[in-house]
Amino acid sequence: MRKPIVVLASLCALAAAIAARAAHEIPFSPDQIQRLGITLVTVAPASTAMTDRMPARVVIPPEQEQVVSSPEAGLVKSLRVAIGDEVRAGAPLAVIESPELVGLQRDFLQASAELRLAQTDLARDEQLFKEGIIAERRLLTTRSRFEQARASLEERRQVLRLAGLDVSAIKALEGSRTLSSALVVRAPVSGVVLAQMAVVGQRVDKAVPLYRIGKLEPLWLEIHVPLDRLGSLAPGAEVGLPCPAATAAVTVIGRNVDPDTQTVLLRAEVHGGAECMRPGQFLQVRIALLGAEKQWRVPSSALARSGHATVVFVRSVEGFRPVDVEVLSEDTGFSVVRADLRGDETVAASGITAIKAVWYGESGGK
C-alpha cells in the first residue's frame, strides 16, 4: 500500500509545479499580439549605465582657499586687486598705513644694535681671556649676553615677518635703518580673488580679513544622492558633466543621511573645465553605475508597475512572462534596469495595458 501513496504524492507535486508555471505565464497567441499592436524589442546590455540627473554644487577644496588678513592695525591706503583678478604668490594686494609697524621696526633696529654691541664685547673678552687678564666666569657672562641679544634680534625679525615684511624688506631696513609706516600686504598663494572685504580709507584692526583667494584647479562637486541609490555607487565612479572639457570621479561617499531630504552627500573631484564651471554654481550631473553585468537598457514604455514592484513582460512560448526589475536610471524614452536576464530576450514595448489586464485577471487582481 505504501508504493501507490508515494506515486500519488509525486504526481501531486508535479501537478502543483506545472500549475505554478502556468500561473506565471500570461497566454498570448501571435495573432493576439498582432491585433493588439503589441511591439517587441530586444533588451540591450547597459555597459555604461548612468543614474538620473542629480543636483550638484561646485565648491573649492578647503586647502585651496585662503583668507588674507591685515597683519597690523592701520588705514587702508590702497587696494591693488579686485574680485576676479588672478594673482601670483607674493604679488601686492593692498597697502596699509600702520603706526604699529613703525614701533616694530624701531624695536628690531634696537635689537640689532644691541647684538652688535654684545658681539664686540664677546670678541674683546675672548681676547682678554686668552691673555689671562680676565677670569673665565666673566667670559661666560659676556657670551650669555651675546646669546640673549641674538635670540632677541631673531624674535624681532620674526615679528616683522608676521607683520608682512619679507626677507628683502627686512634686509633693506637693516641697511638703510629708515623707518616706514607703509605696510604692503602680499598674496600668500597663487589663485583668483574670490572676495574683497575692505575698501580704501577704511581703518582696520589686526587680523581683519581683506581678501579671499582660491585656487580653482582642481574643484569639488557636492552631490546629493537619494539613499536608495547608494547600492550601485562606489568611489571611482565616473561623473557625467555638462562641461565637455572637464572630467570628474567620485572620491568620497558620505556616512551621514540628511534627515529632511533622506539624501547622502557624495564628493567628486573635477579636473579641467575652469572656463565653464565656477565655485558656487549648481549643476545637473549623472553618475556611472557599477556592476553592469546584470544591467539592461529597455524602453521606458516597457516598464509596468504593480504595487511596489516593477516588471517587464518577456516574450515566452506561451505568451509573456513577467520578470521583476530594479530601475536604476531613466532618461528620455529609455531606462536602465537590473534584472536576471540572459540578454537575448525580447520584451513588450507597447500594448502593456492589455497584457496587464490579462495578468491581473489570472492572478486574481493582485
pLDDT along the chain (366 residues), means of 10: 42 37 73 91 77 90 94 94 94 93 93 94 93 92 95 94 87 90 91 95 94 93 89 84 87 92 93 84 86 76 86 92 86 81 89 87 55
CA angle 199, 205, 206 (to 5 degrees): 115
d(C-alpha 196, C-alpha 68), whole Å: 10
CATH fold of 71-98+181-213 reads: OB fold (Dihydrolipoamide Acetyltransferase, E2P) (2.40.50)
What pLDDT, on the 0 to 100 scale, is given for residue 23?
45
What pLDDT, on the 0 to 100 scale, is given for residue 288?
82
Q: And the C-alpha cell for 277? A: 564651471
In the chain, residues under CATH classification 2.40.50.100 are 71-98+181-213
Task: Beginning with the edge strand found earlier in the chain, give each strand of the sheet holding 86-87 in spatial order.
Answer: 65-69, 209-214, 191-196, 86-87
What pLDDT, on the 0 to 100 scale, is given for residue 293?
63
What amino acid is encoded at 336 in this protein?
V
Phi first, then psi, for residue 57 (nearest 5°) are -120, 135
What is the number of other CB atoms lying within 10 angstroms of the CB of residue 134?
A: 16
CATH 2.40.30.170 for domain 54-60+216-287:
yes
What is the dotted CATH code of the domain comprising 26-47+292-362?
2.40.420.20
CA distances from 243 to 31, 191, 210 (A): 50, 22, 33
In the chain, residues under CATH classification 1.10.287 are 100-179
Coil, strand or helix: which one is 101?
Answer: helix
What is the dotted CATH code of the domain comprising 100-179?
1.10.287
In the chain, residues under CATH classification 2.40.30.170 are 54-60+216-287
